Copies of this chain bind each other. A is one copy, B any other.
């Protein structure tokens, strides 16, 4: 049991970590700056030194979420595979992340709604779209995807992906439906992309 120092050391990171935990466990409504401060053994106004606003904390949380999702997706890439495998991998990685971090994803897209969304956040979100575009473009180059403007294919594909993930998160679909439906969705995507 160490004696509490006046300075926490890395309160900012601790706040983010703890906030994400509460978000995951009790939902966004249960997120209170004061409770966060109490949990970390710090005065109720301390968080304001690191986040001017509650919204600022949520923004930072969402931004970190986008960054992690971007990394996850980038890491799941397999350069030398058929389009079907590449797309399948991308979709599975996205859906897995969404299911494992439902509340966070919700927050991410809710915040992006806001016209006042920070530039960094918009940028991180756009990177997602760019990655999807890249998969499609590569498929086109390999002749496995129909020709035409990349957007006219990437948008429907990403749209399907996000919609499915959204249903998976919100339990409109049961976990079994998600597991079994995933293959059908990927097959459907492939048909929609086929030359």
Contacts and interface: CB of A to CB of B under 8 A. Distances in A.
A159 B182 CA distance: 11
A121 B119 CA distance: 37
Contacts of A163: 158-164, 166
A113 B170 contact: yes
B152 A184 contact: yes
B170 A156 contact: no
B113 A171 contact: yes
Q: How many copies of this chain are found per oligomer?
A: 2
Interface string A150-184: 01110111111111101101111100010001001
Interface string A104-115: 001001101101
A193 B191 CA distance: 8
A155 B170 contact: no
**Consensus secondary structure, chain A interface:** helix
Nearest to A103: B113
A185 to B, nearest CB: 5
Nearest to A191: B192
Contacts of A153: 184, 188
Given A113-B170, A125-B172, A192-B188, A159 B160 contact: yes
Contacts of A191: 191-192, 194
12 contacts: A106-B110, A109-B170, A115-B171, A125-B172, A156-B184, A156-B188, A160-B163, A162-B166, A166-B166, A188-B193, A191-B192, A192-B192
Interface of A: 102, 106, 109-110, 112-113, 115, 125, 129, 151-153, 155-164, 166-167, 169-173, 177, 181, 184-185, 188-189, 191-194
Given A156-B181, A162-B163, A162-B167, 19 more contacts: A106-B113, A109-B166, A109-B170, A112-B172, A113-B169, A113-B171, A115-B171, A125-B172, A155-B177, A156-B160, A156-B185, A156-B188, A158-B163, A159-B164, A188-B193, A189-B192, A191-B191, A191-B194, A192-B192
